Amino acid sequence: MSASFSRLEFLFISAQRAVTQTVCGGCRRWRQLPVWSQRRALSQNNTIININNSNTEKLVRNGDNKKTVICIEGNIASGKTTCLEYFSRTSNIEIVTEPISKWRNVRGHNPLALMYQDPQRWGITLQTYVQLTMLERHLSAASAPVMMLERSIFSAKYIFVENLYRSGQMPEVDYAVLSEWFDWITTNIFLPVDLIVYLQTSPQTCHERLKQRCREEEKVIPLEYLESIHQLYEDWLIRFTSSPVPAPVLVIPSDCDLQKMLHRYEEHRDKILTVSNL
């Protein structure tokens, strides 16, 4: 693989080859790893380093097995920004926010606003780009021992894509294509998560906060949408009845005002930053 290829170009070329390969016994094929240690590594110059002879290795950026990854999950307006701002004061944490500015401007287009206006038409457009940009976030080089992500590639699929599909606003073929891409990514790329912090907030509280912060794209979001997202999060992280959960879950009730929430973050600080204590 030439070093002139970008990391994501390599990943998509690999995916295309994996799809087109036959499944005969003599052909190489991608499959789920039996253990995390079987993988390929991406070096700093985006070339591939083969660290063992297995054909079932995952792709991983150099050093990804050393950093701690914490995902902050929750509904729209559940308090994720406040949580991230609180932990940003800690020197050994790198905060990685959702790339909303990218979703609002793709070469002059705003797929985020288009999706809220007409989800059946623009849902797959936005969610394909969300999946790509969240993958970039997961693979970003770590500048600190702990990386704290706002949401994850997992909630993008298990919550927001799932909601579009279940509500009848995403055609089955679009859902199938997104699912195939997601399955390939999570099967073949090492995306470790050490802890999920779930900010459990009622849809009613989220709706009130939405009205207060007045983001242009969010003005059209009804309470019913927030209720649907809430139920999907509860199924995933509380009841464990829907999709696989990639890490231990710490639940923080988040219907409180700002001062009480800051106090709760302080209470849980050591538990969050020392994942092995869970």
pLDDT tens digits for range 58-102: 666 555 557 899 999 999 999 999 999 999 999 899 999 999 999
Range in 7-16, 124-133, 170-179 with the lowest mean pLDDT: 7-16
Q: Is residue 10's pLDDT more than 70?
A: no
Query: Model confidence at 144, in pLDDT bands (50, 70, 90)?
Result: very high
What's the CA dihedral at 198, 200, 203, 207 to 10 degrees? -80
Rounded to an integer, the average pLDDT of 5-21 is: 48
Nearest of 164, 199, 255 to residue 75 by alpha carbon = 199
For the chain, which residues make up each domain, given as ranges?
Answer: 7-61, 68-277
Task: State how far Cα 121 lies from the chain centre.
Answer: 23
What top-level class would CATH report for the domain 68-277?
alpha beta
Q: Any idea which of 27-36, 174-183, 218-227, 241-250 has the lowest mean pLDDT?
A: 27-36
The model's confidence at residue 8, banded by pLDDT at 50, 70 and 90, is low
**Residue 94 burial (CB count, 10 A):** 17
Q: Tell me the C-alpha to C-alpha distance, in Å, between residue 88 and each of 148, 162, 216, 260.
A: 9, 31, 26, 18
Residue 214: other Cβ atoms inside 10 A = 8
Task: Label residue 199 by pLDDT band (50, 70, 90).
Answer: very high
73 annotated active-site: no
118's tokens: 């007409």
Task: Please identify which of the residues 150, 172, 216, 267 carries the catalytic annotation.
Answer: 150
Pairing of strands 48-50, 39-42: antiparallel
* Calpha distance 140→17 (Å, rounded): 24
Is pLDDT above 50 for 105?
Answer: yes
35: DSSP letter: S
> Does residue 275 carry a pLDDT above 90?
no
Do 135 and 189 form a contact (C-beta atoms < 8 A)? yes
pTM over 0.75: yes
- As a whole number, the mean pLDDT across the chain is 82
Q: Does residue 1 register a pLDDT over 50?
A: no
